[in-house]
Amino acid sequence: MSSTNERVCCPECQEFVSDDTRIQLTPDRFKFTSDANGLQHSLRRMFKRREMPNSNSLTDYEKSILESIRNWEPKKGKRALLCAVTYNKQKYKLKRTNYDVISMRDLLVKRFQFPSNSIRILAEMDPYPHPTKRNIQVALKWLVKDNQPGDSLVFYFSGHGLRQPDFFDDEIDGFDETICPLDFRTAGMIVDNEINDTIVRPLKDGVKLHAIIDACHSGTILDLPHIYSTKDAFWLIGWKVWWDNSPPSGVYKGTSGGHAISISACEDNQLAADTSVFSESGKQMEGAMTYTFRKALMENTRVTYASLLASMHKDILAAKKKCFSLRGLFHRERLQEPLLSSSKVFDVNEPFVL
C-alpha cells in the first residue's frame, strides 16, 4: 500500500487525488474523509463530463411544479424552506436526508412554534416537489419575498456539497462553495455567490435569517463576512473571536439591514459525515450535524449560540471515538467542525432562538 501522501492520477479526468481515495469504507457506519474524498472526486468528474441543459428542456409536469412554487404565499412572521436531496438512483445516493428533513420540520414546529403551513419542503418523496436546481432557486426567492421587520426565516439543506475555483476574487481561500441539487450533474450546482445574492442581500432591517446546512464544504456557503472561531474561543475564554471573511475583491456580501446567520456542518475544507451511530437500532442513517444540532436544542431549555456549537462538537467527537474503539479505522481522518458565520458580529452568548 502506498503512503498517504502519495498521489495518483485519475485516468478519466487527469486530476491528481490522494492514493487513499481508492479505499472504500462501506459498510462502515460513520464515514469521514477516506471514502468521502473519493466521493467528492467522482462527483467533480461526473460534473465535468456533462453539458448544461437547454433552458427550455422542462417537461409540462416540471413546469407546473415550478409554477406552483412560484405561487407559494409568503407567510408573515416565521417561515422556513427545508431541502433534502437523496440523489435517488444515482451512484452516490444518500440514505438519511429524508429522515433529516422531517426531523428538522418537527423541531421547528415543536421547539420554535413554526406554523406547519409556514414550512415548505423540497424532497424526493411524496407529496413534495423535487429539489431540482430550478425548484430550489425559486423556493429561495419565496423564502425572502416581501420580508418584513420581525420575520424569522430558516433555510435548511441536507445533501452533497462541493467546491469549485473562484474566478472573481471573492474568496480568501480561492474556492467557491456549492450545494448540489438533485439534477446538479446536468443543470449545475448552486454557488455561494448566488445564495448570498438571493437570501442574504434582500434581508431588511429587523429580519433574521438562519441557514442550517448539513453538507460537505459548507462552512461559508452563504458568503457571510464574519466567521466565529471556536478554536480561538477555547484558548481565549470569554473573548468574542471573529474572523474577517470579507471578499478580497471588496464586493458587498451583507444584508439590506437584516441579520443573516449560518450554522454549517463543517469548515470549507472539511467533509460532513452520515452516521447510524446515534440511532437506538444502529441502522437509521442521519447527518451527524443535523442530529447533534437537534439534540442540543431538544435537551436544553436555554441554548446560546456558543453552547450550541460546543454541544455539537462534543457529540461529534464522542461518536468518532466510539467508532474508533469499535473499528479503529479513523486514525487518518479529520474531525468535522461545525462553523458559525454571520453578516455582523454579535454576542454568541445570546440565546439561540428561531
Q: Which residues are catalytic?
A: 160, 216
The helix or strand, by DSSP H or E, that contains position 82, with its residue range, turns out to be strand 78-84
Distance between CA atoms of 140 and 148, rounded to whole angstroms?
A: 16
- Residue ranges with strand state E in 269-346: 274-275, 286-287, 339-342
Asked if 240 contacts 304 with a C-beta cutoff of 8 angstroms, the reply is no
User: Among 63-67, 279-283, 337-341, where is mean pLDDT lowest?
Assistant: 279-283
Total number of residues shown for the chain: 354
pLDDT digits (tens, 9 = 90+) for 92-149: 899 889 999 999 999 999 999 999 999 999 999 999 999 999 999 999 999 999 999 9
pLDDT of residue 53: 46
Asked if the bond preceding 27 is cis, omega within 30° of 0, the reply is yes
Higher pLDDT, 231 or 179: 179
Maximum C-alpha span of the chain: 60
Asked if 254 contacts 200 with a C-beta cutoff of 8 angstroms, the reply is yes
How large a percentage of the chain has pLDDT more than 70?
74
DSSP 85-100: ---TTSTT--SSHHHH
Half-sphere exposure of 6 (CA within 13 A, CB side): 7
Distance between CA atoms of 57 and 132, rounded to whole angstroms?
A: 13
pLDDT digits (tens, 9 = 90+) for 236-279: 544 558 999 999 999 999 999 999 999 999 999 888 877 655 65
The CA angle 156-262-107, to the nearest 5 degrees, is 40
Which residue ranges make up each domain of the chain? 77-342
pLDDT of residue 13: 36
Quick one: pLDDT band at residue 154, thresholds 50, 70, 90?
very high
- CA torsion through residues 236, 238, 239, 245, sign: positive
Highest mean pLDDT among 193-207, 274-288, 291-305: 193-207
pLDDT of residue 231: 64
pLDDT of residue 271: 86
How large a percentage of the chain has pLDDT more than 90?
62
CA–CA distance from 96 to each of 29, 86, 285, 306 (Å)?
12, 8, 5, 27
Collapsed DSSP state (helix, strand, coil) of residue 18:
strand
Q: Does pLDDT of 289 surpass 70? A: yes
Q: Does pLDDT of 27 surpass 60? A: no
Q: Which fold has domain 77-342?
A: Rossmann fold (3.40.50)
Q: Does pLDDT of 1 surpass 60? A: no
